[in-house]
């Protein structure tokens, strides 16, 4: 009887040690419909997409963030500014119609060597914000511009 | 007491099974506030882990990022064959390729261009995936 209990305890300890608690991971969906690199005709939205340009420094860090031509700088505050600029632009679209708001796309154009984290931050900043634990969506359609080859 | 112990074993055995070997620990995901798990569980998806080899302290050892498939690793160019296999598999089982989401778990320091090239590769003729999800975590991983 006792040897069996010993074995059973060994098993428990084994499973307790191999247990791994992983954090919940979220994701951002991007829309890249097939066969449409020049998607002017394919795009649902009547207006051109919002353009987010991310320029990288030599080490892959963000050097400059531009939204529809407006320079928002670099660093943490750049994404906060991007978030408010996108909100402003989306609200302005509201004047045209709710449908247009929903169909609006954002195109992300980044340098090849930019660290991937800035892409995620940009997508996050364009997608919406957290308000009291609830996600408020600005844009749901995000796509990438054609790849800029490494210099 | 033995009964309680058996219950505990059964519990830990079951919990262990749900750990996806797929979510490779070596990949340090970027962090974003808005990264929430999808509300509706995706029916068809497959996962790609793309990251760097790091030492115990989290410092990058090899400057080239790799795709991790369990014990194997592959570079971007060699992944094409695997993608084609996955695509073939879905075609033979009759699943519409437009319904499949490619979930990309890429390390925060991977060059953005490589991820874009990966997405482009997934859209090539013969592979033809259309939906992509870029993974991120809400909390930072600490080393």
Domain at B47, CATH number: 3.30.420
Report pLDDT digits (tens) over A19-67. 777 777 888 888 776 554 444 444 555 678 888 999 888 888 888 898 8
Residue A28: list chain B partners with CB under 8 A.
32, 34-35, 133-134, 136
Give the global pTM: 0.80
Residue A59 lies in a domain: yes
DSSP structural state of residue B98: G
Torsion of CA B72, B76, B82, B86, to 10 degrees: 120
A15 and B13 within 8 Å at the Cβ level: the answer is: yes
B5 and A12 within 8 Å at the Cβ level: the answer is: yes
Spatial CB neighbours of A128, under 8 Å, sequence gap ≥ 6: A135, A136, A137, A138, A139, B34
Percentage of chain B with pLDDT > 70?
A: 92
**Interface contacts A/B by beta carbons within 8 Å:** 158
CA distance A120 to A27: 9
CA distances, A11 to each of A66, B8, B17 (Å): 57, 10, 15
Report pLDDT digits (tens) over A112-132. 999 999 999 999 888 888 777
Give residue A129's domain range: 44-151
Q: Over 80: is that where the pLDDT of B129 sits? A: yes
Q: Over 70: is that where the pLDDT of B113 sits? A: yes
Residue A136 lies in a domain: yes
Residue A19 lies in a domain: no
Residue A82 lies in a domain: yes
Q: Considering only alpha carbons, which residue of chain A is nearest residue B23?
A: A22
* Contact (CB, 8 A) for B14 and B70: no
If one counts the domains in chain B, the total is 1
Residue B71 lies in a domain: yes
B128 and A34 within 8 Å at the Cβ level: the answer is: yes
Residue B19: list chain A partners with CB under 8 A.
19-20, 22
Spatial CB neighbours of A35, under 8 Å, sequence gap ≥ 6: none
Residue A144: list chain B partners with CB under 8 A.
116, 119
Structural tokens at position A140: 């749901």
Give residue B38's domain range: 22-134
The mean per-residue pLDDT over the stretch A127-149 comes to: 82
pLDDT at A36 (0 to 100): 47
Residue A37 lies in a domain: no
Which of B123-129's residues contact partners 24+ apart within 8 Å by CB, and which partners?
B123/A32, B123/A34, B124/B80, B126/B84, B126/B87, B127/B80, B127/B83, B127/B84, B127/B86, B127/B87, B128/A34, B128/B87, B128/B97, B129/B83, B129/B87, B129/B97, B129/B100, B129/B102
Q: Please name the member of B31, B109, B120 whose beta carbon is closest to the beta carbon of A115.
A: B109
């Amino acid at each position: 009887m006792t040897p069996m209990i010993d074995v059973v305890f060994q098993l428990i300890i084994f499973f307790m040690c191999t247990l791994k608690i992983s954090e919940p991971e979220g994701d951002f969906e991007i829309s890249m419909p097939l066969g449409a690199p020049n998607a002017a005709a394919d795009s649902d939205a009547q207006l051109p997409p919002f353009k987010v340009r991310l320029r990288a420094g030599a080490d892959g860090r963000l050097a400059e963030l531009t939204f529809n031509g407006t320079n928002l700088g670099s660093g943490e505050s750049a994404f906060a500014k991007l978030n408010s600029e996108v909100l402003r632009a989306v609200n302005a679209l509201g004047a045209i119609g709710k449908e247009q708001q929903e169909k609006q796309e954002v195109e992300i154009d980044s340098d090849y060597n930019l660290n991937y984290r800035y892409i995620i931050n940009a997508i996050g900043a364009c997608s919406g914000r957290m308000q009291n634990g609830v996600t408020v969506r600005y844009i749901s359609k995000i796509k990438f511009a054609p790849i800029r080859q490494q210099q | 007491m033995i009964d309680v112990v058996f219950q505990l074993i059964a519990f830990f055995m079951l919990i262990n099974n749900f750990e996806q070997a797929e979510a490779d620990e070596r990949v340090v995901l970027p962090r974003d506030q808005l990264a929430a798990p999808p509300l509706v569980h995706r029916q068809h998806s497959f996962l790609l882990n793309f990251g760097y080899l790091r030492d115990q302290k989290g410092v990058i050892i090899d400057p080239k990022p790799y795709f991790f498939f369990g014990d194997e690793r592959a570079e971007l160019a060699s992944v094409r064959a695997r993608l084609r296999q996955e695509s073939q598999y879905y075609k033979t089982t009759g699943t519409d390729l437009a319904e499949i989401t490619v979930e990309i778990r890429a390390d925060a320091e991977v060059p953005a261009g490589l991820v874009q090239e990966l997405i482009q590769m997934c859209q090539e003729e013969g592979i033809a995936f259309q939906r992509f999800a870029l993974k991120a975590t809400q909390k930072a991983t600490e080393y």
